[in-house]
Amino acid sequence: MFSLIDMLGRACPVIDIVDVGALWMGEQDLAYRALLKHDRFRLIGFEPVAAECDKLNAMGRKGQRFLPYFIGDGTEREFRLNNAPMTSSLYEPNRRLVDRFAALGELMIPQTRERVRTTRLDDIPDIDAIDFLKLDIQGGELDALRGAARHLQRAVVIETEVEFVPLYEGQPLFAELDQELRRHGFLLHALPGTSGRTFRPLRDPSNPAATINQVLWADAVYVKDFSRLAVLSAEQLLRMAVIVHEVYGSVDLAALCLQHYDAKTKAGLWQVYIQRVTGATTAPAPPPLE
């Protein structure tokens, strides 16, 4: 796969990335890692566990800054720091459910609890804009979205963790997040990763985190409504094309964004892009736009 960022050169816009739940799990777990290979990004991350946030800032990665905020809807909540920090949450683990599964309940045991004030993304002056929003805060994703209505007007791609069963007491599930995102003009684009566990007592000794069929959660990618791309600005269309190409390899959707971009700017990018994707010396006539 060629790089669309390299193809655009200095004409490539800067991509503003916001990572909510930025706990370091290794570069392979960064949804946006492909964008970090270039210098056309700005990243602000939020990791509420202070020690983990300090680790991220200590890495000194260029163009990246991390703040120890509890992102949510602006209300006061109780934060549970669990024995496995990646499962820590503003929601109580649903013991009746999670203890049914291998290699799950034992990772969700609260060690400390504290009352905290959550902060809305729309209220954080450090955030100038959001193009690509990544959410992974163990059940708190809908709260974060409800605190980001202003920024969601510009954002073009969101990758969020979604749960299909209540791993935490009272947490919103996939259907509720889907409804909220559609209300803000987004549609589901991809499910790049689904995860589950086996029901006890069965488990795979070589991979305790494996499942047979039971899906529990997934990463879900949403994009601005691809049936209404004409309402987006030229800048939004170009940023969306860059993100879906570089991060997800969605060359078909990127091509559609570039076709709409050309309709607004007469830049002629669609033909060049199609030739790069297909390896053809000439591009076919573009399909009609809506």
Could you tell me the CATH number of the domain that includes residue 168?
3.40.50
| 147, part of any domain | yes
C-alpha distances out from residue 181 to 41, 137, 186, Å: 24, 17, 5
| 30, part of any domain | yes
| 82, part of any domain | yes
Burial 133-159 (b: 16+ CB within 10 A, else e): bbbbbbbbbbbbbbbbeebbebbbbbb
| 265, part of any domain | no
Please choose, from the candidates 3, 1, 4, 2, the residue with its C-alpha nearest in 3D space to the C-alpha of residue 257.
Answer: 4
Instruction: State residue 285's pLDDT score.
Output: 87
**Number of folded domains that form the chain:** 1
| 201, part of any domain | yes
Instruction: State residue 56's pLDDT score.
Output: 96
Collect all residues with Cβ–Cβ distance below 8 Å to 197 and sequence separation of at least 6: 101, 102, 103, 104, 209, 210, 211, 214, 216
| 279, part of any domain | no
Residue span of the structural domain in which 124 resides = 4-231+239-248
Please choose, from the candidates 210, 180, 177, the residue with its C-alpha nearest in 3D space to the C-alpha of residue 195.
Answer: 210
Enumerate the H helices of 161-287 as residue ranges: 174-183, 234-248, 251-265, 269-278
- The two tokens of residue 21 are 């739940």
> Which residue numbers in the chain have pLDDT < 70?
none
Q: Look up the pTM and report it.
A: 0.97
Instruction: State residue 240's pLDDT score.
Output: 98
Sheet of 41-46: strand order equals 64-67, 41-46, 15-20, 132-135, 157-163, 215-224, 186-196
Residue 95, H or E segment: helix 95-98
What is the length of the chain?
290
Instruction: State residue 81's pLDDT score.
Output: 97
Quickly count: other Cβ atoms within 10 Å of residue 2's Cβ.
11
In 59-177, which ranges are E strands? 64-67, 76-82, 110-117, 132-135, 157-163
Task: For residue range 265-285, list pLDDT tens digits in order.
Answer: 999 999 999 999 999 988 888
| 282, part of any domain | no
Instruction: State residue 27's pLDDT score.
Output: 87
Output the CA angle 37-40-45, nearest 5 degrees: 80
| 73, part of any domain | yes
- The two tokens of residue 251 are 């060359």
What would the DSSP string read from start to end of 222-257?
EEE-TT-GGGS-HHHHHHHHHHHHHHH--HHHHHHH
